[in-house]
Amino acid sequence: MNILANENFPLPAVEALRAAGYDVVWVRTDMPGASDEQVLGRAQAEGRVVATLDKDFGELAFRWGLPAGCGIVLFRLELPDPETAAKRIKEALDSREDWTGTFAVVEQQRIRLRALPAKRES
């Protein structure tokens, strides 16, 4: 899976995903300071799933109709330290294969998915 890790994503999680074979682009190093809209645009252009800790992506995708057909995974987990964050994030992403085309919220005990709009509404 191709992932675009948002700027707020922990480095140990990025490294763990790369070590596991995921193709991960990290906003912090590849496009620092990019707006959420720019992040979604790049994810769409490159066929990547956005991995983030930022709740704003759901609003952008649904309320504003921004193109996000590749998928967004919002992590709402207790992440007490970087190593635990890496482990929990990797376990969650490994647990499914249907991230594309959805807005997913990963919580402590469950994962909720909702289909994203296929295109921008006029």
For residue 56, the SS3 value is helix
Cβ-based burial of 90 (10 A; exposed 0-12, middle 13-18, buried ≥19)? middle
| Domains parsed from the chain with CATH numbers | 2-115 (3.40.50)
Average pLDDT over residues 16-44: 95
What would the pLDDT profile of 48-67 be if each residue is shown by its tens digit? 999 999 999 888 888 777 76
pLDDT value at residue 122: 44
Query: Looking at residue 91, what DSSP letter applies?
Result: H
End-to-end CA distance of the chain: 30
| Mean pLDDT for all residues in the chain | 90
Q: By CB neighbour count within 10 A (0-12 exposed, 13-18 middle, 19+ buried), where does 47 fall?
A: middle
Crossing angle for the helix pair 11-19 and 82-94, nearest 10 degrees?
40
Bridge partners of 77? Answer: none
Q: Is residue 107 over pLDDT 90? A: yes
By the 8 A CB rule, do 52 and 8 touch?
yes
Mean pLDDT check: name the lowest of 15-29, 41-55, 63-77. Answer: 63-77
Are the C-beta atoms of residues 63 and 92 closer than 8 Å to each other? no
pTM for the model stands at 0.90
Give per-residue pLDDT as tens, 69-101.
789 999 998 878 888 889 999 999 999 999 998
